[in-house]
């Protein structure tokens, strides 16, 4: 049974609770629509996120494949010497974005043309490994954005679901039960008043007769 609100059972209280109940029901409807939108958006992004994870996993396999070939042909010492002085080929920009009141970062990655290494002791697998790493880094940035956005949307969806449930199963029923109790108490008080007036009238009529 829902606990009643601790208020005095008066007409003014009854009117105030009715107004508050209307506002609560309106808020519940808005939160319910927000929850539905968030749920739909989460399902859409979840599908794309899984597809992107598969793409990144395949890209990482190819990247490590070519890196292992370059390491086998050149050795770790030559690899370390080859990367010295190389300029970054990626520039990352992070900007805030909002969707249904949920903020998350958007990541954009720009890659500059990668100049091949023309040293005599380098192998072609080294340039292929660099190219694969660049492509994979771009995909990883996209995956990071997708995962962060999905996590924040999921968190907000769960919070909204809890608020909807709290209003639906706790707050609104307490208001409704309190309103029914006050209505019943006021009706009982009115009946008692009418009964007392009737008794007084009968007593007056008997005294006059």
Give the CATH number, domain containing residue 136: 1.10.287.3240
The Cα 175–Cα 19 span in angstroms is 11
Secondary structure letter of residue 1 according to DSSP:
-
The Cα 143–Cα 45 span in angstroms is 11
Residue 72 vs residue 193, higher pLDDT: 72
Q: pLDDT band for position 207 (50/70/90)? A: confident
The Cα 106–Cα 45 span in angstroms is 14
Q: Which helix (H) or strand (E) holds 105?
A: strand 102-111
Query: What average pLDDT does the segment 14-28 reach?
Result: 96
Q: pLDDT band for position 13 (50/70/90)? A: very high
Question: Residue 131: pLDDT above 70?
Answer: yes
Q: What does the pLDDT read at residue 206?
A: 73
Return the minimum-mean-pLDDT range out of 9-23, 42-56, 93-107, 155-169: 93-107
| CA angle, 134 then 136 then 140, to 5° | 120
196 within a domain of the structure (yes/no): no
SS3 category, 118: coil
178 within a domain of the structure (yes/no): no
pTM of the full structure: 0.76
Q: pLDDT band for position 197 (50/70/90)? A: confident
Q: What is the residue-averaged pLDDT of the chain?
A: 88
193 within a domain of the structure (yes/no): no
Which tens digit of pLDDT belongs to each residue from 31-40? 999 999 999 9
Domain, as residue range, for 154: 11-168
The separation between CA 40 and the C-alpha centre of its own chain, rounded to angstroms, equals 11
205 within a domain of the structure (yes/no): no
161 within a domain of the structure (yes/no): yes
Question: Residue 118: pLDDT above 60?
Answer: no
Q: Which helix (H) or strand (E) holds 90?
A: strand 90-99
182 within a domain of the structure (yes/no): no
62 within a domain of the structure (yes/no): yes
201 within a domain of the structure (yes/no): no
Give the torsion sign (CA, 46, 48, 54, 58): negative
Nearest Cα to 15, choosing from 178, 167, 193, 189? 178
Q: What does the pLDDT read at residue 202?
A: 72
Residue 180 vs residue 77, higher pLDDT: 180
Domain total in the chain: 1
Q: What does the pLDDT read at residue 191?
A: 82
The Cα 98–Cα 142 span in angstroms is 17
Q: What does the pLDDT read at residue 158?
A: 95
The Cα 188–Cα 140 span in angstroms is 70
Q: pLDDT band for position 200 (50/70/90)? A: confident
Question: Residue 2: pLDDT above 70?
Answer: no
Q: Are 42 and 154 in contact (CB under 8 A)?
A: yes
């Amino acid at each position: 049974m829902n606990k009643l609100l601790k208020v005095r059972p008066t007409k003014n209280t009854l009117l105030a609770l009715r107004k508050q109940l209307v506002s609560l029901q309106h808020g519940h409807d808005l939160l319910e629509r927000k929850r539905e939108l968030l749920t739909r958006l989460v399902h859409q992004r979840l599908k794309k996120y899984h597809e992107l994870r598969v793409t990144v996993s395949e890209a990482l396999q190819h990247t490590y494949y070519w890196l292992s070939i370059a390491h086998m042909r050149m050795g770790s010492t030559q690899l370390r010497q080859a990367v010295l002085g190389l300029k970054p080929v990626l520039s990352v920009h992070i900007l805030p974005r909002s969707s249904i009141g949920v903020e998350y970062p958007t990541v954009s990655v720009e890659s500059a043309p990668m100049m091949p290494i023309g040293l005599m002791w380098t192998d072609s697998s080294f340039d292929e490994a660099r190219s694969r790493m660049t492509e994979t880094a771009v995909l990883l940035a996209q995956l990071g954005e997708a995962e962060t956005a999905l996590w924040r949307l999921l968190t907000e969806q769960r919070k909204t679901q809890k608020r909807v449930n709290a209003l639906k199963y706790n707050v609104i029923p307490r208001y409704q039960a309190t309103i029914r109790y006050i209505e019943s108490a006021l009706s009982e008080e009115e009946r008692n008043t009418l009964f007392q007036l009737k008794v007084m009238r009968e007593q007056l009529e008997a005294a006059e007769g």
